[in-house]
Amino acid sequence: MKKTLLLAALSLALGACAQSGNGRLTLAEQGSFAVGGTVKTSEGRYDANPAALKGNNNDFWNVYQASTQAGGQTLHGDHAAVFYQIPERARSLPLVFLHGYGGSMRAWQTTPDGREGFQNIFLRKRYPVYLVDQPRRGQAVRSTVGSEIKATPDDQFWFAQFRIGSYPNFNQGVAFPQDQAALQQFFRTITPDTGPTDAAAITGSMGALFDKIGGGILVTHSAGGAFGWLIAGQNPNVKAVVAYEPGNFPFPEGEVPPVMENRFGNIAPMKTDADTFRRLIQIPIVIYFGDFIPDAPDGTQGGDQWYMRMKLAQDWVNTVNKHGGKATLVHLPKVGIKGNTHFPFSDLNNQQVAEHLAGWLKDQGLDK
Amino acid sequence: MKKTLLLAALSLALGACAQSGNGRLTLAEQGSFAVGGTVKTSEGRYDANPAALKGNNNDFWNVYQASTQAGGQTLHGDHAAVFYQIPERARSLPLVFLHGYGGSMRAWQTTPDGREGFQNIFLRKRYPVYLVDQPRRGQAVRSTVGSEIKATPDDQFWFAQFRIGSYPNFNQGVAFPQDQAALQQFFRTITPDTGPTDAAAITGSMGALFDKIGGGILVTHSAGGAFGWLIAGQNPNVKAVVAYEPGNFPFPEGEVPPVMENRFGNIAPMKTDADTFRRLIQIPIVIYFGDFIPDAPDGTQGGDQWYMRMKLAQDWVNTVNKHGGKATLVHLPKVGIKGNTHFPFSDLNNQQVAEHLAGWLKDQGLDK
């Protein structure tokens, strides 16, 4: 009886404790850093007394201009910005998230209707998460090359491209919230570039990130996927790649398919070198595509574009596996996960999408 | 004896549980959202079939251009981007952090040498934290107005302006890490604007944030401080203001000091309306300044600039208190906290700086 009481009390106490791993998130560590990047230096000699150079105008920005025109100064740019969180009792391989075109780390932090994104979902599954803003994007906005940002209204173009629907109509059965507040939140995640896209800066900074953290699993989205293949192909610390609707795929010399003709934009498949391809066939790769991708071009922007890119994905998976690789293409509706846009990880069913990925990671032994 | 055993077991179990509030961070919730902002709409009528408009060129960006030129599309911009974390057993008033010029929410997330920033430090003190990227900055990069970003090397100018030293020399006794890796990390936090500074967009989005979250304590840095007074003066949900080295101060009509002449940049004190000022005299305000601020202009950029701004701060505190306000100016070296740059919250002694703030919050009854 007393033993029972003791056990009951213990179980009560430990139960209250364990709860903190449920609704709550328990972190061992979190922080932020910049990684990679270059330094640009201006001609001239730094003068610590710009007041002596500036002429008669005491305006602060006039002094700034006098100082920078005298030169001899540096600009640190083209790095990636990283926010990371490591949960308690963490699994050994972190997930490293790289956004797509027009995206930022916010893509993984939330959903249009404010539910939990993959950041929280995979922290709860005890994976360390590293969220990246690629060079010249978001918090990594500082570019060594000047640029003009255009404020071009284009929400409706992307609404179609991302297979949410044909504005203002939503695709029937789409797993995207259809109230205006959620749609506005979605549009407000769009993050323009602040410099020309520099593939070397992106793959270089991501490589430096994997050098810093050691082994990890690279999770990419869309245009980030095209860089992702190069990052994984150049750095042995990338132990696996998870790619949500990557836009392109690197084929080895002699096996590159012809340009795919498409009224909404052609696609020229990427070509890669033998070393990069050799590494890609050594690691597990899973590629996910969502819903509303027809079996043949259907004359809509979203349908035609993603029909073509998913077809290219299948070609690439076949090529990789023919060379002994371990790549899988998952078309989500085929495994019963329906209604997904170009953003499966933040759609209404993102928990289900996450469960599929968690299962794949387990199957591959990447969840230790 | 059995009772003792029971208590010992309980205490052991609960002890292990409580530990998770120590080195570990236990969160009830975290997420991200956009707030405030405007919508820009292009003339014309949206055409869901840009392929029909684009001419003979199947390039994707050609299709994009045809689509946006046809018009009838929107751009959602000028919002703020927010990342928030709510700890377990949270205090009722959150801290809302607004960065300064050239900054982003990263200012609060880390330090040049990778120690914990105010985000973690105040989460551990059980304050909810809201970190903001103001409109046209960082993850809130999307602007309704086009802009040119210049890639001007200027690190050394800011090194002086921020009172780290006179490049490459560090101020004697400065609480800033002097290794190159830390200095590079610091430079890589610099985040340029992606549109003209729009005070209404900044105060509007911050006002919308306080409307959304209810009462909170606004913590500002530098140029963010100038906006901070307006935000607090326009929104009764701002229950207190903590300002680290604000750059300017809003005086009521008839009490605005003359322009302060300075070789490194004049300062024209802000003027504000009676309503805004009336609200500012009703809330507790603390203003912190760091070290290396001389008692009289000393002919250096950092010394002259901050001598003048701290003098203006004292004038403003006197004005506020003369009208019955509750403002305090803390010059950190005077209370024994030494070596601080323009970034006390990420300097080597930021724990000590945080303890001072925690004490002030407690004294004001803002820690319930």
Q: Measuring CA to CA, how many Å separate A344 from each of A300, A327, B132?
A: 20, 19, 26
pLDDT in tens, B298-342: 999 999 999 999 999 999 999 999 999 999 999 999 999 999 999
Pick the residue of B2, B40, B41, B46 with the most A CBs within 10 A to test the interface with A by mutation. Answer: B46
Residues B177 and B348: beta-carbon distance below 8 Å: yes
Residues contacting A254, CB < 8 A, separation 6+: none
Q: Is the pLDDT of residue B15 over 50?
A: no
Give the per-residue pLDDT at B3: 53
Q: Which of B27, B64, B74 sits opposite A25 (nearest CB)?
A: B27
Residues A265 and B59: beta-carbon distance below 8 Å: yes
Flag if A141 and B64 touch (Cβ within 8 Å). Answer: no
Q: Which chain B residues are Cβ-neighbours of A301 within 8 angstroms? A: 48-51, 63
Q: Kindly state the tokens that stand for A362.
A: 């387990």
Distance from CA of B326 to the nearest CA of A (A): 31
Distance from CA of A278 to the nearest CA of B (A): 30
Amino acid letter, residue B108? W
Amino acid letter, residue B107? A
pLDDT in tens, A116-166: 999 999 999 999 999 999 999 999 999 999 999 999 999 999 999 999 999
DSSP state letter for B171: P
Flag if B50 and A301 touch (Cβ within 8 Å). Answer: yes
CA dist., res. A15 & res. A206, Å (int): 41
Distance from CA of A225 to the nearest CA of B (A): 17
Average pLDDT over residues A239-264: 96
CA dist., res. B138 & res. A194, Å (int): 10
- b/e string for B11-35 if b means 16 or more Cβ within 10 A? eebeeebeebbeebbbbebbbbbbb
Picking from B106, B263, B212, the residue whose alpha carbon sits closest to that of residue A55 is: B263
Question: Which residue has 């002919």 as its token pair?
Answer: B299
Comparing alpha-carbon positions, the chain A residue that sits nearest to B4 is A6
Average pLDDT over residues B61-82: 96
Average pLDDT over residues A242-260: 97
Banded pLDDT at A16 (limits 50, 70, 90): very low
Distance from CA of B47 to the nearest CA of A (A): 9
DSSP state letter for B334: G
Picking from A88, A95, A26, the residue whose alpha carbon sits closest to that of residue B29 is: A26
Give the per-residue pLDDT at A264: 94
SS (H, E, C) A182-249: HHHHHHCCCCCCCCCCCHHHHHHHHHHHHHHHCCEEEEEECHHHHHHHHHHHHCCCEEEEEEECCCCC
Residues A143 and A135: beta-carbon distance below 8 Å: yes
Average pLDDT over residues B245-261: 97
Q: Is the pLDDT of residue A348 over 90?
A: yes
Distance from CA of A320 to the nearest CA of B (A): 27
**What 3-state DSSP class applies to A259?**
coil
Average pLDDT over residues A260-273: 94
pLDDT in tens, B118-137: 999 999 999 999 999 999 99
**DSSP-assigned states of every residue in A294-337:** -SS--SSHHHHHHHHHHHHHHHHHHHHHHTT-EEEEEEGGGGT-
Banded pLDDT at A3 (limits 50, 70, 90): low
Q: Is the pLDDT of residue B18 over 90?
A: no
Average pLDDT over residues A192-200: 93
Flag if A192 and B142 touch (Cβ within 8 Å). Answer: yes
Comparing alpha-carbon positions, the chain B residue that sits nearest to A104 is B139
Find the DSSP H helices in A47-102: 60-70
Q: Which chain A residues are Cβ-neighbours of B88 within 8 angstroms? A: 20, 24
Q: Which chain A residues are Cβ-neighbours of B10 within 8 angstroms? A: 9-10, 13
Give the per-residue pLDDT at A56: 76
- ipTM comes to 0.93
Banded pLDDT at A53 (limits 50, 70, 90): confident
Give the per-residue pLDDT at A52: 85
Give the per-residue pLDDT at B14: 42
Q: Which of B17, B62, B192 sits opposite A17 (nearest CB)?
A: B17
In the predicted model, what is the mean pLDDT of chain B?
93
- CB pairs below 8 Å between A and B: how many? 309
pLDDT in tens, B208-240: 999 999 999 999 999 999 999 999 999 999 999
Q: Is the pLDDT of residue B113 over 90?
A: yes
Give the per-residue pLDDT at A55: 79
Q: Which chain A residues are Cβ-neighbours of B34 within 8 angstroms? A: 184-185, 188-189
* Window from A283-287, A331-335, B2-6, B28-32 with minimum mean pLDDT: B2-6
Q: Which chain B residues are Cβ-neighbours of A133 within 8 angstroms? A: 139
Flag if B77 and A151 touch (Cβ within 8 Å). Answer: yes
Domains of chain B: 77-363 (3.40.50.1820)
DSSP state letter for B134: P
Give the per-residue pLDDT at B74: 98
Question: Which segments of chain B are extended strands (E)?
Answer: 25-41, 74-87, 95-98, 129-133, 147-149, 165-166, 169-170, 216-221, 238-244, 250-252, 270-272, 284-289, 326-331
Give the per-residue pLDDT at A166: 96
Share of chain B above pLDDT 90, in %: 90
Q: Measuring CA to CA, how many Å separate A15 from each of A19, B5, B17, B20?
A: 6, 19, 10, 14
Find the DSSP H helices in B19-167: 60-70, 106-109, 118-124, 155-161
Q: Kindly state the tokens that stand for A195.
A: 């410099």
Average pLDDT over residues A197-203: 96
Q: Which chain B residues are Cβ-neighbours of A153 within 8 angstroms? A: 40-42, 68, 71, 73-75
Give the per-residue pLDDT at B1: 41
**DSSP-assigned states of every residue in A142-190:** --SS-EEE-----HHHHHHHTTSEETTEEPTT-SS--SHHHHHHHHTT-
CA dist., res. B229 & res. B285, Å (int): 10
